[in-house]
Amino acid sequence: MLSLSARPILSAFLPKPKPRRLLLLLRPRRSSASASALTPPTPRTTTPDPPEDADPTPLFLRPPTHPVPEASLAAFRRRAAALVPPSAPHLHRHLRWLLADASAPAPSGADPAAPHLLRAPLDELEALWLRHVRDRRPFQYVVGNEHWKDLVVAVRDGVLIPRPETETVVDMVAAVEGFQDGWWADLGTGSGAIAVAVARMLGPGGRVFATDVSEVAVEVARLNVQRYGVQDKVEIRRGSWFEPLEDVKGKLMGVISNPPYIPTDDLPGLQPEVGWHEPKLALDGGKDGLDHLLHLCEGLSSALMPGGFFVFETNGNKQSEFLVDFISTKWSSSFCDVEAVLDFADIKRFVRGYRR
């Protein structure tokens, strides 16, 4: 069933972390060398990403403490709409969503003349909007969330915005017999989207071990785990791929990963929202894009229990075909039912299989 009820636990707001440290973390992580590699000919980004004074709490989770008269809000709406170029009509939708996420839910029977309560001062919203429209900062970083499956996943600069294709991975897990009571690993968990979605389906014996090397990812994943109240099911560990999982080696029912898989040479050509703003650490898969995927394949057989399941997301047809062929020939005695699975656009997006 496509459930619409996904109310996260509201009390679990992000406890305001030590702002100094976070701000440093949230600074753009491109070194000047990689910035030039990632930067298309005429980047208009001059402001740091995000600016010095930014509140690290995702906008949609901040308390609505800024009263704004209706007239000022209307004026803002007009100014913001005027910035939308005719070539990007979808930005009008973003503007609506921004105001929805930035506003306190209107209490029923409220005085219509009462000032509107916003989660950020109006001038900050204005600056955020400008950076979305002009600097192509992803809308999800502006509001601090992405709607993914039936979840509202918190995200912020430095962590990959979960993609719609990846939703299918969760369905594949749910199709594994007895998945509810198994131990699962989500390697390179990023925002924790997969880990949280899987954890919500698990039974009493089920667990997810979510790993990532990125400190921001670990923080954001922890926030999402808390918001959905699955702390007792998800254990987040910082470290590289299988490294933090020594103690559960051979006990995992499944290994899930959406590792960085874009070939390094393709990074400069990415759309600005991705190439200028999302972390290279989450995208760069090395020369052929296969560096991490191959490393994951190497570790699989000792991590999985006999009969265990794995699924990896890949860059598409070529990588998937290569991996299916590679695993089936090199490790035919270790794995079976290795196959590529299509995404909604009929691209071979996933490779899955079972340990013998």
Ligand X SMILES: C[S@@+](CC[C@H](N)C(=O)[O-])C[C@H]1O[C@@H](n2cnc3c(N)ncnc32)[C@H](O)[C@@H]1O
**Size (the chain), residues:** 356
Name the residue nearer to ligand X (CB basis): 145 or 191. 191
CB of 195: closest distance to ligand X in angstroms?
8
Q: Which two tokens stand for residue 194?
A: 């997969």
Find, among 319, 35, 310, 57, the residue nearest to 179 by Cα.
Answer: 310
283 binds another protein (CB under 8 A): yes
User: Which helix (H) or strand (E) is 304 found in, with range?
Assistant: strand 304-313
Residues that bind ligand X (CB under 6 A): 160, 162, 166, 187-191, 193-194, 211-214, 217, 240-241, 258-260, 281-282
Phi, psi of 231 (to 5 degrees): -55, -35
Residue with tokens 């699975």: 341
322 binds another protein (CB under 8 A): no
With contacts defined by CB under 8 A, name the span among 9-17, 19-27, 292-300, 342-350 that binds another protein: 342-350
What is the Cα Rg of the chain in Å? 21
CA dist 199 and 208 (Å) reads 6
Q: Choose the one of ligand X, another protein, none that binds residue 168, judging by a C-beta under 5 to 8 angstroms depending on kind.
A: another protein
CB of 344: closest distance to another protein in angstroms?
4
What is the footprint of another protein within residues 20-79 (CB under 8 A)?
Answer: none
90 binds another protein (CB under 8 A): yes
Name the residue nearer to ligand X (CB basis): 241 or 310. 241
Q: Choose the one of another protein, ligand X, none that binds residue 273, judging by a C-beta under 5 to 8 angstroms depending on kind.
A: another protein
Name the residue nearer to ligand X (CB basis): 187 or 324. 187
Q: Which two tokens stand for residue 140?
A: 């999800």
Q: Which two tokens stand for residue 6?
A: 């996904």
CB of 145: closest distance to another protein in angstroms?
10
With contacts defined by CB under 8 A, name the span among 12-20, 81-89, 124-132, 274-282 that binds another protein: 274-282
CA dist 187 and 212 (Å) reads 6
CB of 134: closest distance to ligand X in angstroms?
26
Sheet arrangement for strand 252-257: 234-238, 207-212, 183-187, 252-257, 304-313, 348-355, 335-342
Distances (CA, A) of 228 to 114, 161, 183, 232, 317: 33, 18, 19, 11, 34
For the four alpha carbons of 131, 137, 143 and 147, in that order, the dihedral sign comes to positive
Name the residue nearer to ligand X (CB basis): 57 or 258. 258
Find, among 312, 294, 322, 324, the residue nearest to 349 by Cα.
Answer: 312
Q: Choose the one of another protein, ligand X, none that binds residue 217, judging by a C-beta under 5 to 8 angstroms depending on kind.
A: ligand X
CB of 59: closest distance to ligand X in angstroms?
20
What is the footprint of another protein within residues 143-182 (CB under 8 A)?
Answer: 146-150, 160-161, 163-168, 171-172, 174-178
Name the residue nearer to another protein (CB basis): 163 or 222. 163
Q: Where are the alpha helices (DSSP H) in 276-334?
A: 291-303, 317-330
Q: Which residues contribute to the site for another protein (CB under 8 A)?
A: 1-2, 4, 90, 93-94, 97, 138-140, 146-150, 160-161, 163-168, 171-172, 174-178, 253, 258, 260-262, 266, 270-271, 273-274, 278, 282-283, 306-309, 313-316, 336-337, 341-347, 349, 354-356
